[in-house]
């Protein structure tokens, strides 16, 4: 009895600590995202809910590559649905009971539910092993590009290995539990054989009740502590997309791909030059914001949400024509760099209570001019992303800053800008001569 009370108290302590640490980090990430400029993405809620259901829940765009899509769906479904089983473990830990749902739903239905969870758990286990093989043995090209060297590759392997361990512990725990049921010790409720582990109980035949209880309790504790570890590791990992994909799909831009947003500040500058009487009186101008973006604070909050939603799958980079022809640009790296810079800014704020200028910026220190100029704005990266991340929006805003703030553009671009300004077309022809070719 005393040991049960100790375990309850220990479980409650671990639960409170895990939830507190997770909540604190999520609040920090929310603050980081809200460092971005305002952007209204609340129109057409019905279409937004539809996007979230099709893209985040249904993973519609994943099925452009059917085999990895099926494996991902198996891992995703198992990860989501098996959390119902975690609910029972949570209640058991809080109350000191064991398999609290058995008397509620009955032995037969309970065994069916656990059997379904075991199938899902086995699918997650197999799927993660295949993903590990694809990354580390087969070395699929888009999963082994240079921007993934170091921590990004290790991060992916840590998550996959953690899921393999969690699912293995779940299955071993159930096998030991059923073996204990046959010995009829107190505290272990009787159930019908589970669909997978019911076939493995002979592996534990001959073991004493004490040994089986040690195996079952060890797996139970390691499983729930592993879940707590996984929960608090997610905000530091690219796998935070398992949570961020839902709001990111909901708040995705509904305008057609290729639609570029005009800059009111620029429009006002032109308006005031053409009609000076409409200019605000001296001293009444609003604080100047950069034309385009030089650092993460100049991007919109949706750009920063995109950065935290990126899972580094590389589908954007694999279809990028600039990257495929050997240029520096990788849309995946654009998102990774944005997230890395945002994390650095967040740490700066944590240390100084407010952002203290550190002499760095997203442009130049993280993303180079060469990368930005390689982009053809073809929208392939935007179309390829499973959760509607838009690397192109960041690229365009950084290029605007280069040109309008730093006057940094190739000579060929400057000639085109001059032609557009003077001739209203990219070519060096008078507007009056545009149709001259029809007379030849």
State mean pLDDT over 322-339: 97
Choosing among 3.30.450, 1.20.950, 1.10.150, 3.30.700, the CATH entry for 2-33+65-246 is: 1.20.950
**Position 330 pLDDT exceeds 90:** yes
pLDDT tens digits, 203-254: 998 899 999 999 999 999 999 999 999 999 999 999 999 899 999 999 999 9
Counting Cα atoms < 13 Å in the Cβ hemisphere of 83 gives 10
Measured CA to CA in angstroms, residue 303 lies from 183, 296, 389 at distances of 58, 9, 8
Do residues 310 and 335 make contact, with C-beta atoms less than 8 angstroms apart? yes
pLDDT bin (cut points 50, 70, 90) of residue 288 is: low
Name the token pair of 214.
């040690």
Rounded distance, CA 57 to CA 386, Å?
11
Residue ranges of the chain that CATH labels 1.20.950: 2-33+65-246
CB 194 within 8 Å of CB 111:
yes
pLDDT tens, position by position, 367-400: 999 999 999 999 999 999 999 999 999 999 999 9
Higher pLDDT pick, 431 / 282: 431
CATH no. of 264-424: 1.10.1060.10
Which residues make beta-bridge pairs with 37? Answer: 300
Q: Is 292 in contact with 298 (CB distance < 8 Å)?
A: yes
Contact 99, 88 (CB under 8 A): yes
pTM, to two decimals = 0.89
SS3 37: strand
Tell me: the pLDDT tens digits for 97-113? 889 999 999 999 999 99
What pLDDT is recorded for position 439? Answer: 72
Residue 293's pLDDT is 94
Q: What is the pLDDT of residues 305-318, one digit of tens each?
A: 999 999 999 999 99
From-to residues of CATH 1.10.1060.10 in the chain: 264-424
- Structure tokens that stand for 105 in this block: 């739903």
Would you place residue 435 in the very low, low, confident or very high pLDDT band (cuts 50, 70, 90)? confident
Average pLDDT of the residues of the chain: 91
* Closest of 41, 428, 23, 397 to residue 254, by C-alpha: 41
């Amino acid at each position: 009895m005393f040991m049960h009370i100790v375990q309850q108290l220990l479980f409650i302590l671990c639960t409170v600590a895990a939830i507190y640490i997770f909540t604190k980090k999520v609040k920090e990430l929310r603050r980081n995202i809200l460092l971005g400029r305002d952007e209204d993405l609340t129109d057409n809620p019905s279409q937004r809910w539809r996007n979230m259901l099709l893209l985040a829940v249904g993973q519609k765009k994943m099925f452009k590559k059917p085999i990895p899509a099926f494996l991902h769906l198996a891992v995703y479904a198992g990860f989501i649905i098996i959390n119902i089983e975690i609910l029972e473990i949570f209640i058991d830990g809080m109350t000191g009971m064991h398999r609290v749902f058995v008397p509620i739903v009955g032995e037969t239905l309970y065994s069916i539910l656990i059997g379904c969870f075991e199938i899902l758990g086995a699918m997650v286990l197999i799927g993660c092993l295949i993903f590990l093989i694809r990354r580390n043995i087969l070395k699929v090209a888009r999963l082994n590009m240079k921007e993934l060297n170091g921590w990004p590759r290790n991060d992916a392997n840590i998550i996959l290995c953690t899921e393999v361990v969690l699912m293995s512990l779940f299955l071993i725990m159930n096998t030991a539990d059923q073996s204990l049921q046959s010995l009829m010790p107190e505290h272990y409720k009787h159930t019908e054989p589970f669909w997978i582990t019911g076939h493995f109980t002979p592996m534990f035949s001959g073991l004493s009740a004490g040994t089986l209880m040690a195996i079952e309790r060890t797996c139970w504790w390691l499983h729930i502590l592993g879940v707590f570890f996984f929960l608090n590791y997610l905000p530091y990992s690219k796998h935070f997309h398992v949570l961020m994909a839902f709001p990111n799909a909901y708040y995705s831009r509904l305008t057609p791909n290729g639609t570029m947003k005009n800059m009111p500040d620029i429009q006002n500058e032109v308006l005031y030059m053409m009609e000076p009487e409409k200019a605000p009186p001296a001293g009444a101008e609003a604080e100047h914001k950069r034309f385009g973006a030089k650092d993460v604070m100049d991007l919109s909050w949706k750009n920063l949400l995109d950065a935290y939603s990126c899972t580094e799958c590389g589908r954007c980079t694999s279809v990028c024509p600039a990257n495929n022809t050997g240029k520096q640009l990788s849309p995946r790296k654009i998102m990774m760099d944005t997230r890395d810079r945002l994390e650095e800014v967040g740490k700066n704020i944590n240390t100084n209570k407010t952002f203290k200028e550190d002499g760095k910026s997203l442009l130049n220190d993280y993303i180079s001019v060469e990368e930005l100029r390689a982009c053809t704005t073809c929208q392939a990266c935007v179309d390829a992303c499973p959760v509607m991340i838009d690397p192109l929006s960041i690229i365009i805003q950084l290029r605007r800053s280069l040109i309008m703030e730093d006057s940094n553009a190739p000579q060929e671009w400057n000639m085109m800008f001059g032609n557009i300004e003077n001739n209203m077309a990219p070519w060096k022809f008078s507007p009056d001569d545009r149709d001259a070719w029809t007379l030849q």
